[in-house]
Amino acid sequence: MSENRGAPEGADASKPNSARMFDYLLGGKDNYEIDRMAVHAMLAVAPDTRTLAWFSRQFLLKAVQIAAESGVRQFIDLGAGIPTSPAVHEVAQKVDSSARVVSIDFDPVVQVHATAMLSGIPGVTPMLADARKPDDIIARLRADRLIDFDRPVAVLMVGLLHFVMDEEHPAEIVARFREVMAPGSYLAFTHGGDESDPAFIQQTVKDTGGSTAHPVYRSRAEVASFFEGFEMLGPGVVPLQEWLGGDLPHTGLVLLGGICRTPTARKD
Ligand X SMILES: C[S@@+](CC[C@H](N)C(=O)[O-])C[C@H]1O[C@@H](n2cnc3c(N)ncnc32)[C@H](O)[C@@H]1O
- Interacting residues with ligand X (CB under 6 A): 18-19, 22, 56-57, 60, 79-81, 105-107, 110, 130-132, 158-160, 163
Residue nearer to ligand X on the CB measure, 41 or 266: 41
Q: How far is the CB of 84 from ligand X (least distance, A)?
A: 7
Residue nearer to ligand X on the CB measure, 10 or 183: 10
Going from the C-alpha of 185 to that of each of 87, 145, 150, 257, 263, the distances in angstroms are: 20, 18, 10, 17, 8
Residue nearer to ligand X on the CB measure, 128 or 233: 128
Cα–Cα distance between 206 and 219 in angstroms, integer?
A: 20
DSSP β-ladder status, 186-192 and 154-157? parallel
Q: How far is the CB of 56 from ligand X (least distance, A)?
A: 5
Q: How far is the CB of 264 from ligand X (least distance, A)?
A: 28
Q: How far is the CB of 263 from ligand X (least distance, A)?
A: 26
Q: How far is the CB of 65 from ligand X (least distance, A)?
A: 15
Residue nearer to ligand X on the CB measure, 99 or 104: 104
Cα–Cα distance between 39 and 63 in angstroms, integer?
A: 26
Cα–Cα distance between 227 and 212 in angstroms, integer?
A: 24
Residue nearer to ligand X on the CB measure, 131 or 174: 131
β-partners of residue 100 are 74
